[in-house]
A and B are shown apart, each in its own frame.
Chain A
């Protein structure tokens, strides 16, 4: 059990913005009952937010709505004129045919791609890429493992919640989210290493048999680690009871294996 932090940080702003789930909110409120410093932070944030809301607003001038409607209707007429012009289709016929052929080819390629089963390492690597590119947002940002653990427990995920110790990994916790794209629940926690590199940890119900062929197997401390590398992302999988754990990063594979070994329970 990791001790509660001396003071909360980002969670206080989230508390004032009403962004915390019930479990985390309760944890913060318990802490506020005994911590005058955090309570003053909350008072300061609340006072500031209340004052900012006094910024005056005004109604748009009456003529603006009329002018907008006029502009929109002019825009509409232009669309209609284009669609009514029969020559625009005839003169562009070669382009239309070329586009149709390209769309057809595209559909064949997409179908081919979709018909291939997406493997777990591909999913984990894709999640990492989306996190790195900011295309996948964390639903909770926190540096506190207890807070993230309470957040996951609030989802009643169908396996034990375990947050890897950031200190043991030489990293800082960034936050996490629960992924449930097709009923296969995965808990995702994101860490940032000392040099700024990202490390994504996912846990889910599963077995080694669900992993695809092609892994490099490493045995360390009685645990089998399945190592994959695709698209510049290394992912390492291992089993802990009913749960599969994974780490993914764009670091060197060996570094990811060593991080995994530091966290794995044999």
Chain B
């Protein structure tokens, strides 16, 4: 009997390892953003895997999907913010900036001229600005636009309705359009000034 149990446990654990380990990189990236430190991120990801294995072997889902693993990690972070975590609180004023209205589109044509992939304006500038978003807007936009979760999965991770997720996403994008646009134009202007010297 005990050898049967052992063999069953081993097969469950092997199945879990096989499928869940493919999510390590994306979990680590998000843990890094959540905790603000490499050491805290490592601890958070390890704890996520341990809790996920327990849940998986105890009538958990058939497949430890990325969204399911993210849900566990966000839940651990919300309840037990790991020691040393220093997540940026963001700038609450951005929440108000993005509260109502439409996109300010006076510069769309100008921005379209800046080829984001080829500009000196780069991911480091983008990350700095995204990190200034208040947490709930940042989570929504990172999960959908960076981690590329479907809206339903992102809503599951954030434990909110799809409708709430979409509202946060729209607010975040509207604020980011203005902030990222200013940043991109400024870097591009510096580059052009440099070219004429």
Instruction: Give the number of chain A interface residues (Cβ < 8 Å).
Output: 43
Q: Interface majority SS on B: helix, strand, loop or mixed?
A: helix
Contact, CB under 8 Å: B166 / A141: yes
- Can you list 22 A-B pairs, Cβ within 8 angstroms, ordered by A? A17-B144, A45-B177, A47-B111, A49-B145, A52-B126, A54-B116, A54-B123, A56-B123, A59-B25, A60-B28, A61-B42, A68-B21, A71-B49, A76-B9, A79-B57, A80-B5, A80-B9, A83-B2, A83-B6, A84-B2, A138-B162, A174-B163
A1 within 8 A of B: no
Beyond A56-B124, A75-B50, whether A51 also contacts B176 by CB under 8 A is: yes
- Kindly state the separation between the CA atoms of A261 and B6 in the bound complex, as whole angstroms: 65
A72 interface residue, CB < 8 Å from B?
A: yes
6 smallest beta-carbon distances between A and B, as pairs: A60-B28, A56-B123, A52-B145, A54-B123, A44-B103, A48-B177
Chain A interface (Cβ within 8 Å of chain B)? 10, 13, 17, 19, 40-41, 43-45, 47-61, 64-65, 67-69, 71-73, 75-76, 79-80, 83-84, 134, 137-138, 141, 174
Interface residues of B in 1-37 (CB under 8 A from A): 2, 5-6, 9-10, 13, 16-17, 21, 24-29, 32
Distance A56 CA – B13 CA, assembled complex (angstroms):
32
Q: Mark B157-177, 1 if CB is under 8 A from A, else 0.
A: 000011100100110010011
Q: How many residues of chain B have a CB within 8 Å of chain A?
A: 59
Contact B116 A47 (CB under 8 A): yes
Asked if A55 and B42 sit within 8 Å, CB to CB, the answer is no
With beta carbons under 8 angstroms apart, the residue of B27, B105, B117, B123 that contacts A55 is B123
Chain A minimum-CB-distance residue to B3: A84
Q: Which residues from A are CB-within-8-Å of B130?
A: 52, 55
In contact, B127 and A60 (Cβ under 8 angstroms) = no
Asked whether, in the complex, the Cβ of A47 is within 8 Å of the Cβ of B13, the reply is no
Q: For residue B184, which residues in chain A have a CB less than 8 angstroms away from its CB?
A: 51
Report chain A residues within 8 Å CB of B142.
Answer: 52, 55
Interchain CB contact under 8 A, B176 and A48: yes
